[in-house]
Structures are given as structure tokens and as C-alpha cells.
Amino acid sequence: MSDFDKTLEYIDQIQAASTPDEVCGRLLSVTREFGLTALMAGTVPDPGTPAEDQQGHVLLCDWPTEWLERYVARNYVDHDPLVKFMKRKPAPVKWLEAADAVGADEFGRRVYGDAGEFDLHDGMAFPLITLDGKVMMVSLGGSVIDLSPAEFGIISLASTYAIGRAMQLHARIETIEHRIELTHRERECMQWAAMGKSEWEISQILGISEHTSEKHLLNAKAKLGAVNRVQAVAEAIRLGYIS
């Protein structure tokens, strides 16, 4: 099997992952072969972002817990040479090269020193740009990094598809969380409305008052954000509440 076929297989596995953790695990199983054992991916927060909000920027992370806690507690994001580098010019870079490029101060170097305590001595990072123009930084850390251009190609392709998959999965989780809940009665009334029944007819079928059937339909319409009953029915079908 050629290297490229192998890369395609990695990507297939990553795209078949069903949770963000699984994406993270599958990507790392690829990068580990090249000495990269820790992954952090997220949008770059603005300077001064409070610690409690920094978590919201993280998409995938498998850093040692203690290291992540220290990074957030000491507000390393404001000093991390990689973050500075990506803000200036989003481009692929090695950790140590980024420190030189931004002329990292003592504090900046301390971030790396601390990473070393967790066996993260060097690594590579590269940017991806999301649809709304945000810079997503992927940072992979490990021991000594010496990658050929072909190996870099494999890692960056696999990472890109991993981030894409993780974003799809996150979007799906959000949709489920914001999923509108229709009650059983609302759903029943919508089902009959979809078949062209009037409020009075629905009330007769379900043995409820006409006023009650009207109320159920109005509630369903409001929950579905529809302007009229036709749109409400269309939305309910699209979202799979009725058939």
C-alpha cells in the first residue's frame, strides 16, 4: 500500500468517528507514529479572554489535565509564542521556530519550559480558517520533531479532516441541544393538520375541544418559528416530528 493510500485510510477512519473524543484519538494514533503525542485545537482567543471563557475556544484537546489547568490558571494564552505567531500571520510553524520568529520574552519561553515538564519539548502548529473567517490553530506536541515534507503533508491532511469532522460533530450536538420539543398532543394535531383537517375536525378526531386543538396548533407553530400553518407543517415534516 502506498503512503498516500494509507493517508486516505486514516482520513476515512477519522471521518467515520462519531464523537469528538474519537476524532482526537484517531488523529493521535496517526501522529504518534511521527512523535507527536499531544493535541490541542481551537480558535485563537483575543488577549485578556477570562480563563472561564477560554474553554469555549477549545475544539479538541487531549493535553495532560495538569498541563491544561496550569495553562489556563496562569493565563499562558496571552504569552504563548504560538498564539502570537498565528495572530501575526497564520502559517504552519514548529514550536521552537515560532518562539524565535516572535522574539519570545522570558514569560513566553517559560510556557515552553513548562510544556517540557509534561514531555512536550517541540511540536508543530498550523492554522485552518473557518467559514466565518476565524483562525483555528491546530497544535501537536511531542519529543523532537523532524518531519520530511511528505510526513508534514500526511499530518496536515489528517488534521484538517479531523478538525472538519469535529466541527460537524459539534454542530450536530448544538442542534440536538436546541431541538424544539413538541408535546405528544401538539404533534398529533400537526399530523392531522398536515392531512388537511380543520381545527374543528381535529377536535372531533381527538375528542378535545376546538379551542384546545387551536391552542396546540398555535403552540406548535410558535415553537417551530413558523409564520403560518403551512410553514409549520412543512417545518414539522422537515424536522421529522410528523410524516
Site residues for other proteins per CB under 8 A = 2, 4-5, 7-8, 11, 90, 127-136, 150, 153-154, 156-157, 160-161, 163-165, 167-168
The residue assigned the cell 487531549 is 62
Contact between 159 and 138 under an 8 Å Cβ cutoff? The reply is: yes
Q: What is the C-alpha separation between 141 and 145, in angstroms, rounded?
A: 9
Q: What is the C-alpha separation between 161 and 145, in angstroms, rounded?
A: 22
**Shortest approach of other proteins to residue 5 CB, angstroms?**
8
Length of the chain: 243
Q: What is the C-alpha separation between 17 and 236, in angstroms, rounded?
A: 29
Q: Which is nearer to other proteins, 115 or 155 (CB)?
A: 155
What are the DSSP E strand ranges found in 1-153?
A: 36-43, 58-61, 93-94, 122-129, 135-142
Who's near 35: CB < 8 A, 6+ residues apart? 142, 143, 144, 145
Q: Which is nearer to other proteins, 75 or 156 (CB)?
A: 156
Q: Which is nearer to other proteins, 18 or 183 (CB)?
A: 18
Q: Which is nearer to other proteins, 129 or 195 (CB)?
A: 129
**Shortest approach of other proteins to residue 71 CB, angstroms?**
24
Q: Which is nearer to other proteins, 25 or 90 (CB)?
A: 90
Indicate if the alpha-carbon torsion angle 118, 122, 123, 129 is positive or negative: positive
SS (H, E, C) 219-234: HHHHHCCCCCHHHHHH
Q: Which is nearer to other proteins, 14 or 98 (CB)?
A: 14
